[in-house]
Structure 1
Amino acid sequence: MSDKPAGETGLPDGHVPGPRRAGIPLRAVIPNAVTVLALCFGLTGVRFAIAGEWEKAVGAIIVAAVLDGIDGRVARLLKANTRFGAELDSLSDVTAFGVAPALIVYLWSLQYLPGIGWVIALAHAVTCALRLARFNAQIDAADQPHKRAGYLTGIPAPIAAALTLSPLFLTFWLEPVILADLRVRYTLVAIVVVTVSFLMASSLPTYSWGSIRLRASQRLPALVGVGLFAGALFSAPWLTLTLLAAAYAASVPFAIRSYARLKRREAAAVTPA
C-alpha cells in the first residue's frame, strides 16, 4: 500500500486505478501500412498490364520496390520491428515482385512463345517464393556466412523484378523498333527470366549496402553521382533504368570474386603460421 494519503495520489478517495489501455501503438502499424501499399501497387501493375498500359504497369512495380525499400527502415526508425511485419513483408514481396512481374512479362511477350511461355513465367514466381521461404527459414540462424560478411545470398526480389522487366525498359527507351518482332521479343524475355530465376534461387553471394565501402576521398564524387542519377531518372527514366539493370547484372561476377577473396583472407588469418 502506498504511504501517501489518498488526496496526494491525484485520485478521489476510494478510487482504484483501472488497468492500462491495451492495444497496438500507431507507430507499429505505419511500417505494415507501407508494406500493404507495396502489395497494392504490385497488383495494380497487373491490372495495367491486362489493359495493355505497359508503362503504367512497370511504373507500379517500381513504386512497389521503392515502398519495399522504405518499410524496413521506417520500422527500425520507429522501433516497430515485429515478426508479423516480417511475414507480411515476405507475402507482399512474393505478390509484388514474384507474381506480378511474371504476369506482366507473360502478357507482354511470353504468351506468344509456343508451349513453354507460361512455364517460364511461372519460373520467376516460383523461385521468388522459394527465395523468400529460404530467407524466412534462416532469419534466426546464427551461421549465415554471406550476411556476416555483408553480402546477400542470391539477388533480392525487388531487383529480380526489375531485371525481369528490363526488356520493357529497353523497349520504352528505344521504342518498339528492336523488339517489334515477337520472336525476338519472347526469346530475349525467356533468356532474361530464366537467368534471373536461377540467380534468385542460387546461393551465389551478391552485393548489399553493407558490403560496399567508400574511401573518404570518394564521398563527394559519390554524392555528385547520386545527384546526377536522380536528374537522369527524371529526365530519361527508361534509359536510366536500363543502364542501372545492366550495371547490376554486370556486378554479380564481381561480387562472387570479391566474396571469394574475402573468404581466402579469412582462411589465411586463422591458419597457424
Structure 2
Amino acid sequence: MGASGHRPRPKRQIALVQILPSMLTVGALCAGLTAVRMGMSGNYLLAVQLILAAAVIDAIDGALARLLKADSPMGAQLDSLADIVNFGVAPGTLTFIWAFGEFRSEGWIAVLIYASCCAVRLARFNVEVGAEPEAPPKTHFTGVPAPAGALLALLPMYLAFATDGALRLPAPVIAAHLVVVALLMISRIPTLSLKNARIYRANVKFFLVGTVFLGAALLTYAWTTLVAISLLYGATVLWSFLGWIKARKRISTKASEGER
C-alpha cells in the first residue's frame, strides 16, 4: 500500500501486435516527411514513391486495426494527422519546390489552399464517421479522398518527367491545377470507392497478376504509369461529376413539378 493507504493501480499491458497499426501510421508519417526532404534534394522520383507508399499504408492500417481489434480514438486521430502531412503538406511542398521558382508568392498561396482543403476534408470525414459510427460502409466517397488528391495534385510533375520536359506546364497553370484539386477534395461530388469492391474467387489470380503488372510498371516506367493512373482516376471523377449534376437537375425538376 502507498502512503495514503491505497493500493497502487496495476499497470495495464497490451500485446505488441495491438500497436502494429499505429506503428504503420507513424511509418507512413515518416515517409511523407522524408518525401519533402527528397524533394529538397532534387530526388523527385523517390519523393513521389514515398508519398505513394504512405498512401498504400493508409489503405491498410485502418483495416488492420479493425482486424486486430486494435482500433482506438487515438489511432484514428493519429491517422488523420499523418494524412494531413502525407497528402496535404508533402505534395503541396513538393510541388512548390519543383514548380514555383519565379512564381513563389502566388504558388505558395495555391499550396496553402491545397493543404488547408486537405485538412478540412479530413476533419469533415472524421465528423461524419463519428456521427454515425455504426452506419454501413458507403459505396462512394464524398469528394476526392486525400490520397487520391495527392495523386492528382502531382500530375503536372508526372507529365513533365514522362515527356522529358516537353509537357512542362507554366507555373500559373500548375497553381490553378492545385487549387482545382483542393476544391475537389472538399466538394460533395460522389467519387469512386474500392473499399467494398468484390471479385469472384475464380478471378483472384487475374487480380494478382494485374497487381504485379502495375507494380512492375510503376518501378520500370514510373512517370508514364503515374500519368495513366491519374488520368484514369480523373476520368472517373469527371464521370461522377456529370452524373451528380444530372441527378441534382432531376431532383430540382421533380421538386418544381411538385410545387405546381
Establish whether TM, by shorter chain, passes 0.5. Answer: yes
Q: Partner letter of residue 62 of structure 1?
A: L
CA-atom RMSD, angstroms? 3.2
Corresponding position of 1:164: 153
Corresponding position of 2:124: 134
Pair 210,96 (structure 1): closer, same or farther in 2 beyond 3 Å: closer
Q: Matched residues in 1 for 2:197 and 2:246: separation?
A: 15
Q: Deviation string for 1:214-273 (max 9, x for gaps)? A: 678977765554343233223212211110011001001333466789999xxxxxxxxx
Q: 1:167 touches 1:188 (CA, 8 Å); kept in 2?
A: no
Q: Partner letter of residue 189 of structure 1?
A: I
1:69 to 42, 56, 59: 59
1:197 to 182, 186, 198: 182
Pair 100,239 (structure 1): closer, same or farther in 2 beyond 3 Å: same
Q: Partner letter of residue 116 of structure 1?
A: E
Unaligned runs of 5+ in 2: 1-8, 251-260
TM-score (normalizing by structure 1): 0.77
SS for the counterpart of 1:44 is helix
Corresponding position of 2:24: 34
97-106 vs 69-78, which moves further: 69-78
TM-score (normalizing by structure 2): 0.81
**1:57 lines up with 2:47 in the alignment:** yes
**1:119 lines up with 2:109 in the alignment:** yes
| Matched-pair identity in % | 37
Corresponding position of 1:45: 35
Pair 24,211 (structure 1): closer, same or farther in 2 beyond 3 Å: closer
SS for the counterpart of 1:152 is strand
Q: Matched residues in 1 for 2:68 and 2:196: separation?
A: 25
Q: CA deviation at 1:54?
A: 1.7
Q: 1:169 touches 1:238 (CA, 8 Å); kept in 2?
A: yes
Q: Partner letter of residue 65 of structure 1?
A: A
246-255 vs 20-29, which moves further: 20-29
Q: Matched residues in 1 for 2:120 and 2:159: separation?
A: 28
Corresponding position of 1:188: 173
Q: Deviation string for 1:159-194 (max 9, x for gaps)? A: 111111121122222222332xxxx33133123211
Unaligned runs of 5+ in 1: 1-18, 265-273
**1:96 lines up with 2:96 in the alignment:** no
2:213 to 228, 236, 239: 228
Aligned residues: 243
